[in-house]
């Protein structure tokens, strides 16, 4: 009975059950300072609406990584609780950036629902609008409140706070890269794989892949630089692979499964798809793409997709996926010296050949 | 460097306690004039900026991205009056009564002072977007400035991400300069806490934007709560609290005492701002006041509602919050009829007396810390 391992569904459920407890801690702190009820309700709604509803893979990864890093012994209840709490800090931290990214990108939908800034204010007919900027700051601050409350007495407290700061900075720089290398419509000079990889590493891969594992490493008292370098060398490429899948699904995924309507073509995005089309297309095809890419018009979009098909991007993606998988597996197998391969294999298994 | 800053700097000098020569030691820095202190503070800004920028090439950031960050920092962080930043050093000098600060202590106090300025910049950039403000310190708000990379258009909503980057700069600087100080964790926690308090204040402000003509939310209680959280914590409490941490003060009662005096002082400061928004000269306050046009929960309108006759209040409901010179003039006329200038003068004198009596009862730390701050803001018409 002691060796009975919880299945994935139970792990997810236990993780999900912790969220209301943590949210209540934030609420209690606000009640202590005699904050108005409507404002407390607003904050609860903001955090709940934007931190839940996803797959929680990033949050779950902290505990799963911790388990892998401590193979051969069962984690204590305290360790499990701390790892799950850190996992929620990761999820809430992500929510902060999703809210602000959606405003900057003028996105319409997130996880099948209107983006937060487009939703109605709690108890009001008015749209949240630009107040969502301050909401994203509040979400971020709540993370540090939770960290102080639950980790202040842990020996690794300062290390995890610093990692949250650094990851935030990396994500912000990634966003800045993305926003300031927005290609001019019809100009393909900044649309290339080097830019795509760099933007992806900073904007997504650090906080989605490296960050949860690094937190588990800190909890395990791992602190030598080489271990973190090794983790980075595997997890950043994994994050790039994940983003390439996202770019592919933006174009070819089903909106019902994917949770949003893809608009990379309309929005002139530096997507892996257009990068590959430029690399593999004929001069005529590239000229047609220059003429039609980046227009919010169904006819132009259809022409772009037709050219993608002519270039056979689906096969190019399938080949890339297999090549990436093999590359990652090879790299993971050589990491035994610093970190157990199971840390990375678990994450890879979740994203390989996903459809959403 | 404008005359107002120099006048304030001169005021500071008058309150510096004389230093006993018996306490001089070889590691202490020479005593400096307020003007020299200001120059020292300004001088380290490029050093700190460079500490942030020099990390970026190693993070694979292209030159135009680095140039963007540099310009963004220069435009938004320097250029203010720096009173909050300077308060850290001035408070520390008074807290370590009986000895001169070392060069290293002065430098570190000024680094924390700049972190406070960076924090303010983070909030101001974001506030200007949310308020759709037009100018800041006499130039277009950052989000309205020309995009330095694309040849057409403004920075626009990219400024949201820029405000986050300004925030991140704070923690880069704190880690670099304070990682080995015993109070490092406390500094991190107080910046996190103050950020949260300020954001909560902004939320209160954003959600107290009633429909025009609805005065139910314009109460002094609402006003005080907004000001306490949105401004007083980061403008008055934070700089002094940082100096206390540097001075090795750790007792909770000491920080509670500081809070009890500095939060009301911050309210007093904001009430002055609200008064000056309406009655101050644009040439002196550095902006054109628009609280009436923008339907703000200002101390002025709260007092007008408290003191006006039902007829006057009805007229205010009709004309307050409209961006129209005729409506604005009518509101100001009613303010004149109600005698708001005298109400403000009475409030100012009462606040001063209240703060002085509170300061005089402080035993847990030098009273001069608070007296100096109060002297900078009392009866300012700048």
pLDDT confidence of residue A6: 65
Per-residue pLDDT, A311: 94
Q: Alpha-carbon distance B163 to B136, whole Å?
A: 15
Helix or strand run (H / E) with residue B71: helix B63-77
Query: Which pLDDT does position A125 carry in this prediction?
Result: 80
In this structure, the number of other CB atoms found within 10 A of the CB of residue A94 comes to 22
- Chain B's closest residue to A39, CA to CA, is B204
Distance CA B242, CA B105 (A): 12
How confident is the model over B192-216, as pLDDT tens digits?
A: 989 999 999 999 988 876 778 889 8
Question: Looking at beta carbons, which residues of chain B come within 8 Å of A100?
Answer: 160-161, 164
Burial A245-264 (b: 16+ CB within 10 A, else e): bbbbbbbbbeeeebbbebbb
pLDDT in tens, B105-140: 999 999 999 999 999 999 999 999 998 888 887 889
Q: Which residues of B touch A (CB under 8 A)?
A: 56, 59-62, 64-65, 68-69, 126, 129-130, 132, 149-150, 157-158, 160-165, 168, 171-172, 175, 184-185, 188-189, 192-193, 195-196, 199-200, 202-204, 206-207, 225
Cβ A183 vs Cβ A221: under 8 Å: no
B287 a known binding residue?
yes
For residue B54, give Cα distances in angstroms to A179, B66, B67, B308.
21, 9, 11, 58
pLDDT of residue A356: 61
Chain A residue at shortest CA distance from B152:
A184
Cα separations (Å) of B151 from A324, B15, B67, B155? 38, 51, 15, 11
pLDDT of residue B233: 97
Using the predicted structure, report yes or no on whether residue A58 has a pLDDT greater than 80: yes
Query: According to the model, what pLDDT value does residue B7 have?
Result: 37
To the question of whether residue B54 is assigned a binding role by annotation, the answer is: no
Name the pLDDT band for A99 (thresholds 50, 70, 90). Answer: very high
**Which of B149, B188, B193 has the CB atom closest to A180's CB atom?**
B149
Most confident range (mean pLDDT) of A138-142, B141-145, B346-350 is: A138-142
Q: Is 90 exceeded by the pLDDT of residue B217? A: no
Which residues make Cβ contacts (< 8 Å) with residue B248, sequence separation at least 6? B183
Q: Rounded to an integer, what is the distance from CA A153 to the centroid of its chain?
A: 29
A109: tokens are 């939908």
The CA distances from residue B284 to A135, B276, B368, in Å, are 34, 10, 28
Q: Which residue of B has its CA nearest to A156?
A: B185
What is the structure's pLDDT at B186?
96
What mean pLDDT comes out for the span B224-249? Answer: 96
Q: Which chain A residues are closer than 8 Å to B182 by Cβ? A: none
Q: Do A170 and B184 touch (CB under 8 A)?
A: no
Tokens 């959403």: give the residue: A356
Dihedral angle sign, alpha carbons of residues B322, B323, B327, B329: positive
Dihedral angle at the C-alpha atoms of B368, B371, B373, B379, nearest 10 degrees? -160
* Residue B354 distance to chain A (closest CA, Å): 23
Domain ranges of chain B: 34-376
User: Domain segments of chain A: what residues?
Assistant: 1-153, 155-356
Q: What share of chain B is helix, strand, coil (3-state, %, to 5)?
A: 70, 0, 30
Q: Which residues are registered as beta bridge partners of B28?
A: B102
DSSP per position, B286-302: SS---TTTTT---HHHH
State the Cα–Cα distance between residues B173 and B55, nearest whole angstrom.
12
Using the predicted structure, report yes or no on whether residue A307 has a pLDDT greater than 90: yes
DSSP B378: T
Q: Whole-angstrom Cα distance, residue A328 to residue A348?
A: 8
Query: Is A161 in the B-facing interface, judged by CB distances under 8 Å?
Result: yes
Tokens 């639950």, residue?
A150
Q: How far apart are CA B197 and CA B225, in angstroms?
A: 11
Reported as a single tens digit per residue, the pLDDT across A163-208 is 999 999 999 999 898 888 767 788 898 899 989 998 999 989 998 9
Does this chain's domain A1-153 share its CATH topology with A155-356? yes
Q: In terms of DSSP H, where are the helices of chain A?
A: 8-32, 37-51, 57-69, 77-105, 131-151, 157-180, 193-200, 211-219, 225-252, 255-258, 272-280, 283-292, 298-311, 313-333, 342-351
Q: What backbone torsions phi and psi does residue A11 show, to the nearest 5 degrees?
A: -60, -45
Hey, which residues of B are catalytic here? 81, 122, 127, 131, 136, 205, 230, 269, 273-274
Determine which helix (DSSP H) or strand (DSSP E) holds B198, and give its type and residue range: helix B184-206
Measured between CB atoms, does A38 come within 8 Å of chain B?
A: yes
The DSSP code for A110 is: E
Closest residue by Cα to residue A64 from A352, A344, A351, A330: A344
Question: Over chain A, what is the mean pLDDT?
Answer: 90
The answer on pLDDT for B167 being more than 60 is yes
pLDDT of res. B25: 42
Q: What pLDDT, on the 0 to 100 scale, is given for residue B41?
A: 97
Q: Are B369 and B95 in contact (CB under 8 A)?
A: yes
Other residues' Cβ atoms within 10 Å of the Cβ of residue A144: 21
Nearest CA in chain A to B194: A141
Instruction: For residue B380, name the pLDDT band (cuts at 50, 70, 90).
Output: low
Q: Which of A138, A148, A180 sits opposite B203 (nearest CB)?
A: A138
Four-way CATH pick for A155-356: 1.10.1200.10, 3.40.50.1100, 1.10.600.10, 1.10.1030.10: 1.10.600.10
The confidence score (pLDDT) of residue A57 equals 87
Bridging pattern class, strands A109-110 and B139-140: unpaired
At residue B28, the pLDDT reads 66
- For the ranges B86-95, B209-218, B348-357, the lowest mean pLDDT is seen at B209-218
Does domain B34-376 fall into CATH 3.20.20.20?
no
Q: Closest by alpha carbon to B379, among B299, B304, B268?
A: B268
Two structure tokens written together for B311? 């007829």
- Examine the pLDDT at B221 and tell me if it is beyond 90: no
Chain B nearest CA to A89, separation (Å): 15
pLDDT for position A336: 64
Q: Check whether B127 is labelled as a binding-site residue.
A: yes
Smallest Cβ–Cβ distance between B189 and the set A106, A148, A201 belongs to A148
Question: In chain A, what percentage of residues exceed pLDDT 70?
Answer: 96
The Cα A64–Cα A216 span in angstroms is 9
Residue B140: phi and psi, rounded to 5, are -60, 145
A-B CB pairs within 8 A amount to: 119
Band the pLDDT of A260: cuts 50, 70, 90.
low
In sequence order, which residues have a C-beta less than 8 Å from that of residue B12 and are 6 or more positions away? B34, B90, B372, B376
Predicted confidence at residue A14, as pLDDT, reads 85
Domain spanning A1-153: which superfamily?
Farnesyl Diphosphate Synthase (1.10.600.10)
Could you tell me which residues are beta bridge partners of residue B146?
A: B154
d(CA B131, CA B69): 23
Element housing B283 (H / E) = helix B282-285
Among the partner-chain residues A134, A142, A172, the one whose CB lies closest to the CB of B130 is A134
Q: Please judge whether B59 and A173 are an interchain contact, meaning their C-beta atoms are less than 8 angstroms apart.
A: yes
What pLDDT, on the 0 to 100 scale, is given for residue A5? 57
pLDDT band per the 50, 70, 90 thresholds, residue B10: very low
The token pair at B26 is 């070889």
Taking contacts as CB-CB distances below 8 angstroms, the residues of chain B near A141 are: 192, 195-196, 199
Cβ contact, residue pair A180, B185, below 8 Å: no
């Amino acid at each position: 009975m002691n060796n009975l391992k919880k299945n994935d569904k139970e792990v997810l459920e236990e993780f999900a059950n912790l969220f209301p407890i943590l949210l209540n801690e934030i609420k209690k702190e606000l009640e202590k300072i005699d904050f108005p009820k409507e404002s407390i309700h607003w904050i609860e709604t903001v955090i709940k609406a934007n931190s839940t509803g996803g797959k929680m893979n990033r949050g779950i990864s902290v505990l799963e990584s911790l388990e892998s890093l401590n193979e051969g012994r069962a984690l204590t209840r305290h360790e499990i609780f701390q790892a799950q709490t850190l996992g929620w800090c990761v999820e809430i931290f992500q929510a902060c950036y999703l809210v602000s990214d959606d405003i900057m990108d003028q996105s319409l939908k997130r996880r099948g629902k209107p983006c937060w800034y487009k939703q109605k204010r709690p108890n009001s007919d008015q749209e949240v609008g630009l107040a969502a900027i301050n909401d994203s700051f509040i979400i971020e601050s709540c993370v540090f409140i939770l960290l102080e409350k639950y980790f202040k007495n842990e020996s690794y407290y300062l290390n995890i706070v610093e990692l949250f700061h650094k990851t935030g900075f990396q994500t912000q720089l990634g966003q800045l890269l993305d926003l300031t290398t927005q290609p001019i419509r019809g100009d393909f000079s900044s649309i290339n794989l080097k830019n795509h990889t760099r933007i992806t590493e900073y904007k997504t891969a650090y906080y989605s892949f490296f960050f949860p594992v690094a937190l588990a490493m800190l909890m395990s008292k791992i602190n030598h630089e080489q271990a973190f370098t090794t983790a980075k060398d595997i997890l950043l490429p994994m994050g790039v692979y994940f983003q390439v899948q996202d770019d592919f699904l933006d174009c070819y995924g089903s909106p019902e499964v994917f949770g949003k309507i893809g608009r990379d073509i309309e929005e002139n995005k530096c997507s892996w798809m257009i990068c590959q089309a430029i690399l593999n297309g004929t001069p005529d095809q590239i000229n047609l793409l220059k003429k039609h890419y980046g227009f919010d018009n169904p006819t132009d979009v259809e022409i772009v997709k037709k050219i993608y098909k002519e270039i056979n991007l689906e096969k190019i993606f399938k080949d890339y996926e297999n090549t990436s998988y093999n590359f990652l597996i090879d790299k993971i197998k050589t990491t035994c010296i610093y970190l157990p391969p199971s840390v990375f294999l678990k994450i890879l298994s979740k994203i390989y050949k996903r459809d959403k | 460097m404008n005359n107002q800053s120099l006048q304030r700097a001169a005021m500071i000098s008058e309150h510096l306690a004389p230093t006993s020569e018996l306490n001089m030691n070889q590691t202490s820095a020479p005593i400096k004039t307020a003007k020299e202190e200001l120059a020292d503070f300004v001088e380290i800004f490029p050093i700190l900026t460079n500490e942030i920028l020099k990390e970026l090439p190693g993070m694979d950031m292209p030159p135009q991205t680095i140039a963007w960050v540099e310009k963004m920092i220069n435009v938004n962080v320097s250029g203010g009056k720096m009173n909050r930043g300077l308060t850290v050093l001035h408070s520390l000098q008074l807290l370590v009564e009986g000895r001169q600060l070392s060069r290293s202590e002065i430098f570190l106090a000024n680094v924390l002072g700049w972190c406070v300025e960076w924090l303010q910049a983070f909030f101001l950039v974001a506030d200007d977007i949310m308020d759709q403000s037009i100018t800041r310190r006499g130039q277009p708000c950052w989000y309205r400035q020309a995009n330095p990379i694309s040849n057409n258009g403004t920075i626009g909503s990219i400024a949201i991400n820029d405000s986050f980057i300004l925030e991140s700069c704070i923690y880069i600087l704190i880690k670099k300069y304070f990682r080995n100080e015993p109070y490092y964790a406390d500094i991190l926690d107080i910046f996190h806490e103050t950020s949260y308090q300020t954001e909560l204040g902004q939320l209160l402000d954003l959600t107290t934007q009633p429909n025009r003509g609805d005065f139910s939310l314009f109460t002094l209680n609402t006003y005080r709560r907004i000001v306490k959280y949105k401004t007083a914590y980061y403008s008055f409490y934070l700089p002094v609290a940082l100096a206390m941490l540097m001075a090795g003060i750790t007792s909770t009662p000491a920080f509670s005492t500081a809070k009890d005096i500095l939060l009301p002082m911050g309210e007093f400061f904001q009430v002055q701002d609200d008064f000056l928004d309406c009655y101050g000269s644009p040439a002196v306050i550095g902006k054109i006041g628009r609280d009436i046009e923008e339907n703000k929960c200002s101390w002025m309108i709260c007092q007008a509602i408290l003191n006006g006759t039902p007829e006057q209040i009805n007229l205010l409901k009709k004309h307050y919050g409209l961006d129209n010179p005729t409506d604005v003039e009518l509101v100001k006329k009613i303010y004149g009829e109600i005698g708001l200038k005298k109400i403000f003068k009475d409030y100012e004198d009462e606040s001063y007396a209240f703060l002085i009596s509170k300061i005089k009862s402080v035993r847990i730390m030098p009273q001069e810390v608070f007296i100096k701050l109060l002297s900078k803001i009392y009866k300012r018409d700048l």
